[in-house]
Amino acid sequence: MLRHLFGIIVGINLILAVTCQSRSFFDMNCPQNKAANLRKCEIFVDSRIDFIDFGKWTSELESTVKVSLDVTCSKKGVFSLPWPMKARGLIKLNVKGCVLEGFFPESLTPTNLKDELQELSLDTCVIVSNLKRVIYLFNTPLTKEIDCGQQTLQRSVWRNISYMSTNNMEDVTIDQFLKVFSSFEHFLNRPKQIRYRCKYSNLKYIDESISSTRSKYSFLLMTAYADFPKLHTFRWIDNGYRSIPQELIDWRKYFPQLKLLDLSYNNVTKFDFLGAPSSETASKSEPLVVDLSQNSVAEIPINMPDYLTGSVPIIVDLTGNPLRCDCNFLRYKSYVMNALKRYEKYEKLSRITCNSAIKHRKIQLVNYRNNNC
């Protein structure tokens, strides 16, 4: 959770009408699927809904019943959703288009609920929080339950999430603000003092795309005390990143089973994915695909041939980058042609183009020749 504390910017005041959803509200919106023993809730929120009310409702269901909750909000819709979003039996939670309130927990006392959530998706939501609370949490040791969230997750999507604060700037003293920034280094040292590890043993899919408030420390905090032994797909699209964070250069160390790393629509100019060596010695036939399409790469690394010779071959897709037609590009071409001998299905790589300054046009990789290299 530490990472999400970073996203706060100072903004609006929200005045919220409070209503309470009764048991019959959820009974009505969550029809029973008897065969699967699953209650599937689909709720459209035009005013406000509180996760606590939902949690009360699920706590009264039979203990074998599982629940999925889909919440879609109108422009005015508010969902009070306290992290780590636990409710008895809740295995899937999809939230779309909501203002999320009460997100950072008021209390750090244990919930006494076990982790059960398998799928979480927050899409196009605004997390609104009290800046004083955030400053407080910044300076407080968190519990493992709060910090790790639900370790049963298989899929985790935080897409197009933005952050706002409910305070006027005057509510927060300059001293409080400065304290956060002066203790920043101390904050980044905190992971070293953390004695637990978050183990996301089932997590296969992460999508954290489209966010203008991603901190450059995101990956450091994400990996410092957490394990992702099965992570298969990692989408990190359109986050304005200009360079590859060290934790992704060293992906073998932190995400040993990675198959797809999608960094498309960022602003990356150079890349390196040959960092830390693998701890596994056995070679794998399945490659890691790194999607760097629609970035700003102009420089192909000298060691491009090595991308195919490691224990896990790496396919780097540079579609839509400002590649010049030169010896660099020829190096990329020979790498692609070698890759295609083994992996025909990435045939679209052969249609990647370079910009020829001499001919004033784009030339496709398969057609590119250069005798001067």
Ligand X SMILES: *[C@@H]1O[C@H](CO)[C@@H](O)[C@H](O)[C@H]1NC(C)=O
Nearer to ligand X, 162 or 350 (CB): 162
Nearer to ligand X, 248 or 339 (CB): 248
Ranges assigned E (strand) in 211-262? 226-227, 233-235, 260-262
Nearer to ligand X, 128 or 312 (CB): 128
Quote the least distance from Cβ 214 to ligand X, whole Å: 12
The single residue listed with the structure tokens 């609920």 is 113
Quote the least distance from Cβ 269 to ligand X, whole Å: 10
Quote the least distance from Cβ 238 to ligand X, whole Å: 8
Quote the least distance from Cβ 139 to ligand X, whole Å: 29
C-alpha neighbours within 13 Å on the C-beta side of residue 215: 17
Nearer to ligand X, 46 or 280 (CB): 46
Are 87 and 66 in contact by the 8 Å Cβ rule? The answer is no
Q: Mapping DSSP to helix (H, G, I), strand (E, B) and coil, where does residue 268 land?
A: coil
Binding site for ligand X (CB under 6 A): 124, 126, 160, 162, 210, 240, 265, 267, 294
Residue in 80, 93, 88, 24 with CA at minimum distance from that of residue 49 = 80
Quote the least distance from Cβ 267 to ligand X, whole Å: 4
Nearer to ligand X, 67 or 122 (CB): 122
Quote the least distance from Cβ 276 to ligand X, whole Å: 28
Nearer to ligand X, 129 or 160 (CB): 160
Quote the least distance from Cβ 289 to ligand X, whole Å: 20
Residue in 355, 343, 351 with CA at minimum distance from that of residue 296 = 355
Nearer to ligand X, 162 or 257 (CB): 162
Work out whether the CA dihedral 218, 112, 136, 183 comes out positive or negative.
negative
Q: Quote the CA–CA distance of 354 and 318 in Å, as a whole number.
A: 10
Strand partners, 93: 69, 120
Quote the least distance from Cβ 244 to ligand X, whole Å: 15
Ranges assigned E (strand) in the chain? 32-33, 38-45, 48-50, 66-73, 78-80, 90-96, 99-101, 119-123, 126-129, 155-159, 162-165, 198-199, 205-207, 226-227, 233-235, 260-262, 288-291, 314-317, 353-356, 361-364
Chain centroid to Cα 117, Å, comes to 17
As a dihedral over the C-alpha atoms of residue 23, residue 27, residue 32, residue 37, rounded to 10 degrees, the angle is: 0
Nearer to ligand X, 210 or 304 (CB): 210
